[in-house]
Chains A and B, each alone.
Chain A
């Protein structure tokens, strides 16, 4: 069964500081990995995804994530956080996509607070 662990429920950083959100996954085959962001009362916006190739993935809003197969991790990073980054972040894992697609399994989320 596929699963995702986000060990940090809440994280607080100062504006301008660097950020790393942790994500560990469990999946029996080649994982497809995603990071989504959700602002209060809003839907889920895709930040970045990893399917294959370069293990360092660049996303929107200055975010990046690194896939480390040996550690089953896909941590999200940003060099300098802006106050507008305050939101909830979800890591998700999906299976190998066939013509019919596949479901995503989400972690429990990390709530990011940014101090000015």
Chain B
């Protein structure tokens, strides 16, 4: 157990739908990062939050949004889903010493 918890582990949904992925960071870590891993794009950085505030944005689509709550857990919202959004979505957290720890991921399948 890495200490970073992601739920659900698997998600199957239809095109056009909206889903929410959840991440609980490792205890004490203030930063949360979201990554998307697909066969054609590899591991792509989506967005980072630090203590509730957005800190960095990567190649995140406008249909996607995220937030970090006061208890530091984070949610990634994916809407108007397309077949191409099927991927593994990873959350990572880091603390002051900068060690990134990844969760086991959520596998999203859009049908």
A binds B: yes
A interface residues, Cβ below 8 angstroms from B: 32, 34, 36, 41-46, 49, 51, 90, 94, 97, 99-109
A43-B103, A46-B101 known; A106+B2 contact, CB < 8 A: no
Q: List 5 A-B contacts (CB under 8 A).
A: A36-B102, A94-B100, A99-B50, A100-B55, A101-B31
Q: Per-residue 0/1 for B94-110: is the Cβ within 8 Å of any A Cβ (1 yes, 0 no)?
A: 10101111111101000
A42-B104, A43-B102 known; A103+B45 contact, CB < 8 A: yes
Judge whether A99 and B96 touch: CB under 8 Å.
yes
Partner of B56, one of A51, A103, A109: A103
- The count of A-to-B residue pairs whose CB atoms sit within 8 angstroms is 59
Cα distance, A41 to B50, chains bound together (Å) = 28
Judge whether B48 and A103 touch: CB under 8 Å.
yes
Judge whether A104 and B42 touch: CB under 8 Å.
no
Judge whether A46 and B48 touch: CB under 8 Å.
no
Give the interface SS of chain B, mostly helix, strand, loop or mixed. Answer: strand
Judge whether A43 and B105 touch: CB under 8 Å.
yes
Judge whether B99 and A49 touch: CB under 8 Å.
yes
Besides A36-B102, A100-B55, 4 new A-B residue pairs in contact (Cβ under 8 A), listed by A number: A46-B102, A97-B94, A100-B31, A104-B100
**Which residue on B lies nearest to A44, using beta carbons?**
B102
For B90, what are the chain A residues with a Cβ–Cβ distance below 8 Å? 43-44
Judge whether B94 and A101 touch: CB under 8 Å.
yes
